[in-house]
Structure 1
Amino acid sequence: MSMNDTPEIGPVIQRERKARHLTLEQLAARSGVSKSMLSQIERSEANPTFAVLWSLTQALKIDFTDLIAGGVAHRQANPIELVPVAHTPEIKSPDGAWKLRILSPPALAGRMEWYDVEIAPKGRLESAPHAPGTFEHLTARSEGLVVETEQGRQELGEGETARYRADVVHKILNGGAEAAHALMVVLYE
């Protein structure tokens, strides 16, 4: 391909979709790009925007540069997905009382989520009620954590797990003098 040639994107998208045994409908659902637009792209009848191409590369788990270069070097997809620390999303309280690292994949949001929890000394993580039927499972990786809901209070020792309704106001407190750590799993009904 010379510097002036337009990359053949359609055939690459189609080849990568078929290599993953995806139908047009399945790739449309994963990418948010309509089935008719996908079909036009694969037949090289449409000139997709950068945003559309980005959505497709993310859905197919291919590098954007591979797409533009004419295809993914025929390499096997890694059967183990690795998320680098720098790509692990974090939520921090404005006052520095707590930090949540989101460990679950985005596709599971609203069904099942898991977090690495860090609460500063004497800090608290307060939550409004989640959707009806939601439960949290908090496993303490250090001493000092306490779970409180309107239904009770429970202190946790290192390694212990508290399971509680999260469809009510609830909070996790760190009564210790050191930062407290836990793993939290949230299950939505």
Structure 2
Amino acid sequence: MNVGVAFVKPNDPIDGVNMSQPGSPLSTIAAALRRERERVGISLAELARRAGLAKSTLSQLESGTGNPSVETLWALGVALGVPFSRLVEPPAPPIRVIRAGEGPRLPSDHADFFGTLLAAGSTHARRDLYVVELEPGTGRQAEAHIPGSIEHLVVAAGRIRTGPSGDEVDLGPGDYVMFPGDVPHRYEALEPGSWAILLMEHR
């Protein structure tokens, strides 16, 4: 399963997409970063400081270049006080179809972990729907998201260990878990080809 926003090996191209073209994933991210930074009213240097990034890295992202990882974008979302989806989701048409294998792919720095943003919540609902794909290996340690975040996960195939760090649970196909996303948490595949549906709720 590969759909929408996903995480690949660092420095891999994003599904062969020309990232610098208008409407491309990087142009969407660049516009969103500028918009949200200006909304908060902070400088590029201050946002970089809050997110723990080099100013040059953030400058590249705002200019539509570079190759951001999911960890970088999560850090920026936390620093700006917005969900991850606000930085990667283009304006939605009235009807939207995402075919298997389509959409931009974002790399994870630390794990063979794939996540796909299927739909972002509205301003009022603030819920984002993803497909996540994992392969056995190191697992992915996620930092705390914005306060009030809750994660809902249903395993579709394979086996996945997930939950707040130190309090993880093992899940199989059809199993569901809910846990706070505003504390450090972890995802780990226990079998090859594991994938799940993830609903992120931002209160």
TM-score, length basis structure 1: 0.51
Instruction: Check the 8 A contact 2:163/2:179 in 1, yes or no.
Output: no
Q: 1:94 to 1:130 in 2, by over 3 A?
A: closer
Q: Is the 8 A contact 2:120 2:126 kept in 1?
A: no
Report which structure shows greater RCO (CA 8 Å, sep ≥6): 2
1:186 aligns with 2:200: yes
Q: 1:168 to 1:174 in 2, by over 3 A?
A: same
Q: Residues 105-124 of structure 1 correspond to what in structure 2 (within 5 A)?
A: 105=120, 111-124=126-139
- Relative to structure 1, the CA distance from residue 109 to residue 171 in structure 2 (aligned partners, 3 Å threshold; closer, same or farther) is farther
Q: Partner amino acid for 1:161?
A: Y
2:97 corresponds in structure 1 to: 82
SS of equivalent residue, structure 2 residue 161: strand
AA of the residue aligned to 2:196: A
Matches for 1:5-84 after TM superposition, within 5 Å: 80-84=95-99
Distance in structure 2 (CA, Å) of the matches to 1:118 and 1:59: 25
Hey, what's the Cα distance between the residues in 2 that align with 1:119 and 1:136? 17
Cα displacement (A) at 1:181: 0.5
Distance change (3 Å), C-alpha of 1:85 and 1:161: same
Indicate the structure (1 or 2) with the bigger Cα radius of gyration. 1
Instruction: Give the direction of change, closer, same or farther, for the CA distance of 1:144–1:127 in structure 2 (3 Å limit).
Output: same
Q: Deviations over 1:148-174 (max 9, x none)?
A: 314612110111111000000001111
Give the Å deviation of 1:188.
Answer: 0.3
Unaligned runs of 5+ in 1: 1-31, 33-57, 62-78
In the superposition, relative to structure 1, how do residues 146 and 108 fare at CA in structure 2: closer, same or farther (>3 Å)? farther
Contact 2:155 2:174 in 1 (8 A): yes
The whole-number CA distance in structure 2 between the counterparts of 1:159 and 1:182 is 9
State the AA in 1 paired with 2:158.
Answer: E
Q: What's the C-alpha RMSD, in Å, of the aligned pairs?
A: 3.1
